[in-house]
Amino acid sequence: MTFDVVIRNGTIVTAGDVFTADIGITGETISTIGQGLSGRQVIDATGLLVMPGGIDGHCHIEQEEADGTVHEDDFASASASALLGGTTSVVCFASHVPGRGMVEQFEAYRRRGGRSRVDFAIHQIVTRTDAGTIEQDIPEIARQGAAGLKVFMTYDDFHLTDGQFLRVLDAAKAGGLIVSVHCENYDAIRHVIDAHLAAGRTDAHAHATSRPPGLEREATYRAMALGELVDHPIQIFHVSCPEVAEEIARARHRGVKVSAETCPHYLALTENDLKRDGFEGSKYICSPPLRTQADQDGMWKYLREGVIGIVSSDHCGYTFEGSNGKARHGRDADFSLIPNGMPGLGTRMPVLFHTGVNSGRISLTDFVRLTATAPARRYGLYPRKGTIAPGSDADLVLWDPARQVRITNDLFQGNIDYTPYEGLHVTGWPVMVMARGAVAVQHGQLLRAPTAGRFLRPEHPTAHPAND
Ligand code: URP
Ligand code: ZN
Ligand code: ZN
Ligand code: ZN
């Protein structure tokens, strides 16, 4: 049998195995894995790792804000950065801004995703709990194929009370939707921010001191207690430090259905980055904030043990210079007015590979589990996505583990004018990316058009957290 494409003699890495073989691809899917396969097109992968294309389970793309502005990284540009960094599927966020119904916003967002170069699933944000949202909209969002819901325990415009959160959990349970939670204690943070501002502490680093680890840990504990009460799986988003991970480990031990995610910036950057000169520190404002070096060092064991099962970018499309970006309130604005979040779609896999695999803190199979297999399972996309197996989509990244690259923002061709990793030297780079059987990136060139991506509807119930 002759396949359309054969990836020859690569070192195949899955979440469970590392072995050398050929991959035979027919159309958009993997047909077989074996030795000596023949193909109409043969790609020699000798010396390269062949891994499942990355799945970024948390990225803000072309997202509408409550003030009517839209994140500057749109589907076409953000998905370009994704591909150039080895990611072939994303899970992004439909807004729930005032004035329009949730279902309308979900449908409009899904249509905008028609400009994506990568396959995409959608989390639905929930910021209101009126009867229409709870009784009509959440069940309808579940029928429309949302990957899950996101709720916030902080931010002025978004946060839900515990009672509102419980109503969302009830509705999510009825609809079979996992609920992901931004865990920080709103009132306590507001209290510290006000005290900082009254004392004249307005610099970017005050962002970190206004949101200490204990307030993330408290909210995480509370979210898990509420999830336990309803007996419905929740996921803790963007865990920033070990004391939060430890709280999650304790809950998992007693059988609470909770899973967790972290992001490369909590593994590669620290709060010292917020002290950079002038307005530079604003580039590093995200929530929860960057923590200490000791916190960063303490995270890895939770990744190895699976307490934190996913590494997502939490990519945020705010520019540094643009009028809608970090400087939207001027370059002397106090920290509390600077939009939260930083870009990371393109850098997610190279930065994690460099900081985690090259240093021996995680294994190659851990890397694939954290960047592809676990997110596929958690969002009901496995085994179509997130692994290399007959019948799976041929979403593949050919990775040169020896390739040395100095990260610069222009490598990622997005609409964002900076990367927090500018100048970082990494070893290990995606040299070819395939998306559903077609070459999407080769020699740093982007070959996949906007509109090539498809909406991904979860095909299986979202996995029990203990299984990913
Ligand atoms: O700072 C962050 N993480 N901004 C993005 C929104 C969110 O909370 O995920
Ligand atoms: Zn969040
Ligand atoms: Zn986010
Ligand atoms: Zn905002």
Q: Does the Cβ of 60 fall within 6 Å of ligand 1?
A: yes
Segments of 207-255 assigned E as strands: 234-236
Task: CATH 3.20.20.140 in the chain: give the residue spans.
Answer: 52-371
Query: Dihedral (C-alpha) 377, 380, 385, 387: value to the nearest 10 degrees?
Result: 20
Q: How far is the CA of 324 from the centre of ligand 4 (A)?
A: 10
The helix/strand/coil state of 86 is coil
Pick the CATH number of 2-51+392-446 from 2.30.40.10, 3.20.20.30, 2.40.50.140, 2.60.40.420: 2.30.40.10
Amino acid at 151: V
Residue 419 contacts by C-beta under 8 Å, 6 or more apart in sequence?
Answer: 343, 344, 346, 347, 407, 408, 409, 412
For residue 287, the CA-to-ligand 1 centroid distance in Å is 5
Residue 428 Ramachandran class (φ > 0 left, ψ -120 to 50 alpha, else beta): left
In sequence order, the 6+-apart residues with CB closer than 8 A to the CB of 282 are: 204, 320, 326, 327, 335, 338
The pLDDT of residue 35 is 98
Can you give the pLDDT at residue 158?
92
Residue 459, pLDDT score: 86
**From CA 245, how far away is CA 436, in angstroms rounded?**
35
> Are 202 and 334 contacting, i.e. CB atoms less than 8 angstroms apart?
yes
The residues placing their C-beta within 5 Å of ligand 2, an ion, are 182
Q: How many CA atoms lie within 13 A of 209 on its CB side?
A: 12
Q: What ligand is nearest to the CA atom of residue 312?
A: 3
Q: Which CATH number fits domain 52-371: 3.40.50.10470, 3.40.50.360, 3.20.20.140, 3.40.50.300?
A: 3.20.20.140
CA atoms within 13 A on the CB side of 221: 12
Nearest protein CA to atom 2 of ligand 1, as residue: 341
Distance, CA of 185 to CA of 403 (rounded, Å): 43
Q: Which atom of ligand 1 is nearest to the CA of 60?
A: 5
CB within 8 Å of 9: residues ≥ 6 apart: 20, 21, 22, 44, 45, 46
The helix-helix angle for 213-230 and 162-175 (nearest 10°) equals 50
- pTM, two decimal places: 0.97
Cα(182) to centroid(ligand 3), Å:
8
Neighbours of ion ligand 4 (CB under 5 A): 65
Distance CA 62, CA 76 (A): 9
Give nearest CA residue, ligand 1 atom 5: 341
**Token couple for 376:** 């596929």
* Ligand 1 pocket member 287 (CB < 6 A): yes
CA 378, CA 401: separation in Å to the nearest integer?
27
Backbone angles phi, psi at 256, to 5 degrees: -65, 140
**Which residue from 439, 443, 442, 461 is spatially nearest to 452, judged by alpha carbons?**
439
Q: CB of 105 within 8 A of CB of 92?
A: no
Q: Rounded distance, CA 254 to CA 256, Å?
A: 6
Give the span between the Cα atoms of 464 and 382, in whole angstroms: 13
Max CA separation in the chain (angstroms): 74
Looking only at the bridges linking them, the beta strands covering 179-182 and 148-152 are: parallel
What is the atom index within ligand 1 of the atom nearest the CA of 182? Answer: 8
Ligand 1 midpoint to CA 451 (Å): 26
Closest ligand 1 atom to 285 CA: 1
Question: Which numbered ligand comes closest to the C-alpha of 156?
Answer: 4
Virtual torsion, Cα 372, 374, 376, 380, nearest 10 deg: 180
Are the CB atoms for 85 and 345 separated by under 8 Å? yes
| CA nearest ligand 1 atom 9, residue | 314
CB 314 less than 6 A from any atom of ligand 1: yes
Which residue has its alpha carbon closest to ligand 1 atom 4? 341
Separation of 155 CA from ligand 3 center, angstroms? 12
Q: Ligand 1 in contact with 289 (CB < 6 A)?
A: no
Ligand number nearest to the C-alpha of 57: 3
**Tens place of pLDDT for every residue, the chain, 468 residues?**
999 999 999 999 999 999 999 999 999 999 999 999 999 999 999 999 999 999 999 999 999 988 888 999 999 999 999 999 999 999 999 999 999 999 999 999 999 999 999 999 999 999 999 999 999 999 999 999 999 999 999 998 899 999 999 999 999 999 999 999 999 999 999 999 999 999 999 999 999 999 999 999 999 999 999 999 999 999 999 999 999 999 999 999 999 999 999 999 999 999 999 999 989 999 999 999 999 999 999 999 999 999 999 999 999 989 999 888 999 999 999 999 999 999 999 999 999 999 999 999 999 999 999 999 999 999 999 999 999 999 999 999 999 999 999 999 999 999 999 999 999 999 999 999 999 999 999 988 999 999 999 999 998 766 655 556
Answer yes or no: is the C-beta of 151 below 6 A from any ligand 1 atom. no
Instruction: Tell how far the Cα of 67 is from the centroid of ligand 4, in angstroms.
Output: 8
Taking the CA atoms of 353, 315, 78 and 72 in sequence, report the sign of the dihedral they define. negative
Distance 367 CA to ligand 1 centre (A): 23
Query: Do 348 and 312 contact (CB within 8 A), yes or no?
Result: yes
316 lines ligand 1 (CB under 6 A): yes
Q: Which residues of the chain does CATH 2.30.40.10 include?
A: 2-51+392-446
Task: Please work out whether the CB of residue 286 comes within 6 Å of at least one atom of ligand 1.
Answer: yes
Distance 428 CA to ligand 2 centre (A): 29
How many angstroms does the Cα of residue 302 sit away from the middle of ligand 4?
A: 31
